[in-house]
Each structure stands twice: as C-alpha cells, then as structure tokens.
Amino acid sequence: MKPIFFAWTRSFWLATLVVLTMLFQGPVDILYSVGELLSIFLPWTGQTIGSKLETFAPIVLVFLAMQQRSGTARPYTLDPTATD
C-alpha cells in the first residue's frame, strides 16, 4: 500500500480541529445556535443545550478523527508529492 502525505488526510485535519477547539473554545456561537434550534424539539433551553454541546464537541471530534484512520489505512509520509 502506497503511503500518503499526512496533511492530505481527513484524520489529520479533524485532529487539528480538535486541538484548535480545545485551545480556543471553538465556534461557540455556532454551538449555541444549534442549541437554540434543538430547544424547539427538546425540553431544555437553548443555553443548556449549547453548554453541553460546548463540553462534548472536542470529544466527538476525537472519535471522528480516530474513525477516519480505522481499518486498512495507508501509512503516512512527509513527502508532499505522495498522493493517490
């Protein structure tokens, strides 16, 4: 199996997004907006849902990044010319 340049993979960018979310508290306005939309259908306020989403967003992104590398993943390389 041919190696792939690490920065071309979804798992790299999802892991980067996790780190940025944890360092800079992520796109908080978006999470609270989603919370307001969900509060229409759920018995909690938008503020409560938004705070829970803010807490769990990095964890969900970590699982998503790990899932992207599961199975028969191609090995990483530092050579940027290594594509398909």
Three-point CA angle 70, 73, 74, nearest 5°: 160
Q: Classify residue 31: in a domain, yes or no.
A: yes
CA distances (Å), origin 77, targets 3, 8, 16, 43, 62: 6, 10, 17, 49, 22
Q: Classify residue 81: in a domain, yes or no.
A: no
Region for 67 from its dihedrals, namely left if φ exceeds 0, alpha if ψ lies in -120 to 50, beta otherwise: alpha
Q: Classify residue 36: in a domain, yes or no.
A: yes
* pLDDT tens by residue, 30-82: 778 888 999 999 999 999 988 888 888 777 767 766 665 555 666 666 666 76
As a whole number of Å, the end-to-end CA separation of the chain is 10
Task: Specify the amino acid at residue 43.
Answer: P
Q: Classify residue 63: in a domain, yes or no.
A: yes
Question: How many domains does the chain contain in total?
Answer: 1
User: 19 lies in which domain range?
Assistant: 4-72
Q: Classify residue 22: in a domain, yes or no.
A: yes
- Residue 6 token pair: 């690490």
Q: Classify residue 82: in a domain, yes or no.
A: no
Q: Is the pTM of this model over 0.85?
A: no
